[in-house]
Structure 1
Amino acid sequence: MLAPVIAGVDGSAESLAAAEWAAREAVRRNRPLRLVHAWNRHPRQGAGEPATAAQRYLARRALRQAEDRIRRTCPGVKLDDEQIDGPATTALLQAADAADLLVLGSRGLSGFTGFLVGSVALGVVARTTTPVVLVRAGEEASDEHLPAGDGGPSTGTGYRDVVLGIDLGDPCDEVIEFAFEAARVREARLHVVHAWQTPSPLGLGPGDIGLVNGPEQAEEWLGFLTAVLKGWRDKYPEVEVAETVTEGRAQSVLVRAATGASLLVVGRRMTDRPTGPHTGPVTHAAIHHVGCPVAVVPHA
């Protein structure tokens, strides 16, 4: 049985948008969709104590709202649902272990692009071994597509670019493959972006792209990027690829590159640190400041 796309649902506007996005993604991937509601125990409830009638009612209502919305907008998806005992972060991490992809909502910042990422979503992103997509409130199907000829929204036009942020110092197969597959199922262009900064002479090591001027450094990085992607181009010949190397801070370069994209793909290194799991500065900036859905792909 194929692993499902799983969407966390809590009745909020952002979780409903995430559930609808997850339904479209499940259809694109030809996978079933599972809606999951994790109810939090009351502080006085014991770990094994069953849900109260009120908790069961609220969980059922949240799931029914999401199901009704999905059946109206994406009737072809194979759909089921599940209630899981909280706390929410732990429950979603457990659900993610059986998922092909986990999709969570994230509140949009009024007047700004980007996300206000709650502690549950951030905790799941920082700990799970499953790719997670964060979807802002208000995300609609037409946001993934290029505008119509008159400039208006459309779902009948082609998909906007999938953008991949890549670190050429540590290019990871899991992240690259996720991005190519996302572009393939959308028949979208994949825009691969690498940001570089001129190193200090004291920081140079053997093989580093060093003391040459900016344009020459850019050409060196572009050649390296082309070489890294060659095998993936051969594996995905149907995917159109655009390559960009830009001098600047990776966080700022990636946020700009993702403007107008259908999906941004970034990686997160899985490490055991004494201070606990982290997303890393580039991924942290992406999930807080990018307006399109953001896929965070864990890797070793």
Structure 2
Amino acid sequence: MSQRPVIAAVDGSMESQAAAHWAAREALLRDLPLHIVHAWQDWSPGFTHVPFTGADSASGETTVTRHWAERIPRETAERVRESHPGLRVSVEQILGRPVEVLLAATNKAEVLVLGSRGLGALGGLLAGSVSLPVIAHAECPVVVVRAGEQAEDEKQPQGGPTGRARYLDVVLGLDLTRPCDELIEFAFSAAAARGAALKVVHGWGVPIVFGHDPEAVDPGHGVAMGLREASVLTDALRPWRGKFPEVDVKEQCVVGGAADHLVDASKDASLLVVGRRVRHSAIGPRIGPVTHAVLHRAAAPVAVVRHP
């Protein structure tokens, strides 16, 4: 069994505090340790203008900056330990560029957890220079958590016959043109760990042929294609049902782009899982339009899983 930790990136913000507590809950579900990382850069004149020689050349401003850099992960760890007794928690503060530090951390993490404001297309995630490149190049799954996220938000309002609150569904967005084992396994494992149902959403559309809409000519054409898409989805999930027989799977084929449907499904989800294909782009980090949309608009934490 893997003992790679769940890693939470913290910077002192409310968003990162929510991410740290989500990461703690995830670590307990997976029986893994939690590692809290804070990447800091020293912008004081004494640091930026004096060459590094191995000697202590830090100015008073640098000392203050280092003091706060040490307090952020330490105090976060104290709050997490208090809320989650028994959890194995370690702390690390690293001097360096946050993107580089966090990407290096993904090489040794089971999951990396980040905070996000989720303020829409012109704010939140893309307003910063850290989250997007980390998500676009991470070697491990990355989970993005909104500020204010609470454990209660991930569970049904009322408990079942046992009186214990059950987790809301885990939702998986699946593209059947390139189904990915890593993505599907992550979603099934997340649902199994939570004792939750797994809702699999696949979006499809009737292709336009030579400028004509076949469904407009023959409405039955769209119905037949819908039945075929549903059959392909069932076939793709069949081996995973066998590996995870305890997971209740709900299949949903929807017409049109998947993003809107996934965002809607996230309102009643404990976790939304989407994929991110490995891309080598000369115009900067890219994560795909569906993943980009749900990261900004989803109501639940979003897990982005790298796949070929």
TM-score normalised per structure 1: 0.90
Listed one character per residue, the Cα deviations across residues 155-176 of structure 1 (whole Å, up to 9, x for unaligned) are 9400000000000111111100
Match of 1:207 in 2: none
Distance 1:102 1:216 in 2: 42
**Aligned 1:59-208 pairs, distance under 5 A:** 59-109=69-119, 116-117=124-125, 118-148=128-158, 156-202=164-210
- 1:47 deviation in Å? 7.2
- 1:107 deviation in Å? 1.2
The reply to whether residue 283 of structure 1 matches residue 291 of structure 2 is yes
* Aligned residue identity for 2:247: V
- 1:212 deviation in Å? 4.8
- 1:22 deviation in Å? 0.1
**CA 1:201–1:212: 2 relative to 1, 3 Å:** farther
Query: Do the aligned partners of 2:74 and 2:91 also contact (CA within 8 Å) in 1?
Result: no
Give identity over the alignment, percent: 49
Distance 1:16 1:48 in 2: 35
Distance 1:101 1:156 in 2: 27
Residues 290-299 or 118-127, more deviating = 118-127
The reply to whether residue 266 of structure 1 matches residue 267 of structure 2 is no
- 1:55 deviation in Å? 2.3
Distance 2:14 2:53 in 1: 30
Query: Do the aligned partners of 1:11 and 1:65 also contact (CA within 8 Å) in 2?
Result: no
Query: Do the aligned partners of 1:160 and 1:262 also contact (CA within 8 Å) in 2?
Result: yes
Distance 1:223 1:119 in 2: 42
Distance 2:18 2:297 in 1: 18
What's the secondary structure of 1:2's corresponding residue? coil
What's the secondary structure of 1:157's corresponding residue? coil
Match of 2:249 in 1: 241
Q: Please say which structure displays the higher CA radius of gyration.
A: 2
Distance 1:276 1:139 in 2: 30
Listed one character per residue, the Cα deviations across residues 35-87 of structure 1 (whole Å, up to 9, x for unaligned) are 00000132726578777322221112211331122122211210001011221
Gaps of 5+ in 1: 150-154, 205-209
* Aligned residue identity for 1:58: W
What's the secondary structure of 2:135's corresponding residue? helix
Distance 2:221 2:29 in 1: 44
Match of 2:215 in 1: none
Distance 1:295 1:136 in 2: 12
Match of 1:152 in 2: none
* Aligned residue identity for 2:83: T
* Aligned residue identity for 1:229: L
Larger helix proportion of the pair: 2
Distance 2:258 2:3 in 1: 36
Match of 2:34 in 1: 33
Query: Do the aligned partners of 2:10 and 2:17 also contact (CA within 8 Å) in 1?
Result: yes
- 1:103 deviation in Å? 0.2
Match of 2:230 in 1: 222
What's the C-alpha RMSD, in Å, of the aligned pairs?
A: 2.4
Query: Do the aligned partners of 1:41 and 1:87 also contact (CA within 8 Å) in 2?
Result: no
* Aligned residue identity for 1:268: R
